[in-house]
Amino acid sequence: MGSLYNEVGVFSGNANPALALAVCEYINIPQGRAQVFEFSNENIFCKIEESVRGNDIYVIQPLSTPVNRSIMELLIMIDAFKRASAGRITAVVPYYAYGRTDKKDQPRVPITARLLADMITVAGAHRLMTVDLHSGQIEGFFNIPVDNLTAIHILADYFKDKGLDNPVVVSPDLGSAKRARNFAQLINAPLAIVEKRRMGNDDRSSVLNLIGSVEGKQAILIDDEIDTAGSITQAADTVKKAGATAVYAGCVHAVLSGPAVQRLKDSCIEELVLTDTIPLQATKQLDKIKVISIARLLGEGIMRVHSGASVGAMFPKWK
């Protein structure tokens, strides 16, 4: 099926240029040329350095640290493409920040995930492509089409190739149980769940219970995001004390803020497998960390959207 638009253009902000370059290499096109930088007064400047009139444009920009600058770069780039008469603009946001603020769970708090969706839409994006939203309901915050890709099968393929003889998939909390269940289905392993309760707004949580058996098995902790690493390391200690012979972990988005790196270094986790939705800074690299690229995932998604092919056909059907 042919595209309604002219040629594909893939551009990048400053949040993860290496990922954008890898996507372009997969698609086999040159990366689009654009200047995006910050003046000394902290105002962001953007200039598209080639014609994009009528083209199908994809702006790759995870909303990672510095989060608010990454957001503004994305919005300003979208506006620049709109004013340059791009045929269609797709915001490719591998990591969607503020994903946890998807509802009013306390009095007098914002729903920032919805606010961010409105900002992206008003800026001029025609579509959003993202990876493993923290909450599926965020798709409904947009009045434009959303392709929520998943990298869980990429992590599953990695662990299948390890050839673990008696694995068990563990969800570090109840909120991640469905994701862990899907992962367990992919590697044909049983499921266990760590029950915890978050204490206030300061990232503290306490483990309450372990649902399922991990004794004598290799535990694989699966989550969509690791921020301060408190939950994942607490869960690792819990399953180790419950008799797991080895503890591995996998996650899609490696925020790794605050004490995360030290907590992971000191933990009983033998290997942590991440994707490059967020670039791993040199100061956060550990010998136990393995990074897998999602460039092929994004590249395939972009080409399918451009040609009008099914994006859903890329993924297995969950039961």
The answer to the question of whether 215 is labelled as a binding residue is no
Task: Indicate the residue type of 199.
Answer: M
- Confirm if 58 and 27 have CB atoms less than 8 A apart: no
Q: Is residue 196 annotated as a catalytic residue, yes or no?
A: yes
The answer to the question of whether 161 is labelled as a binding residue is no
The answer to the question of whether 102 is labelled as a binding residue is no
Return the percent helix, strand and coil in the chain, to nearest 5.
35, 25, 40
- Confirm if 94 and 252 have CB atoms less than 8 A apart: no
The answer to the question of whether 230 is labelled as a binding residue is yes
- Confirm if 266 and 243 have CB atoms less than 8 A apart: no
The answer to the question of whether 203 is labelled as a binding residue is no
The answer to the question of whether 173 is labelled as a binding residue is yes
Q: How far is CA 276 from CA 202, 249, 280, in A?
A: 26, 15, 7
The answer to the question of whether 229 is labelled as a binding residue is yes
Of 104, 196, 284, 290, catalytic: 196
The answer to the question of whether 228 is labelled as a binding residue is yes
The answer to the question of whether 307 is labelled as a binding residue is no
Closest CA to 130 of 157, 98, 105: 98
Distance, CA of 180 to CA of 185 (rounded, Å): 9
The answer to the question of whether 41 is labelled as a binding residue is yes
Distance, CA of 309 to CA of 141 (rounded, Å): 24
Distance, CA of 216 to CA of 148 (rounded, Å): 36
**Known binding-site residue numbers for Mg(2+):** 134, 173
Which active-site residues does the annotation give? 196
**Known binding-site residue numbers for ATP:** 41-43
**Known binding-site residue numbers for D-ribose 5-phosphate:** 198, 223, 227-231
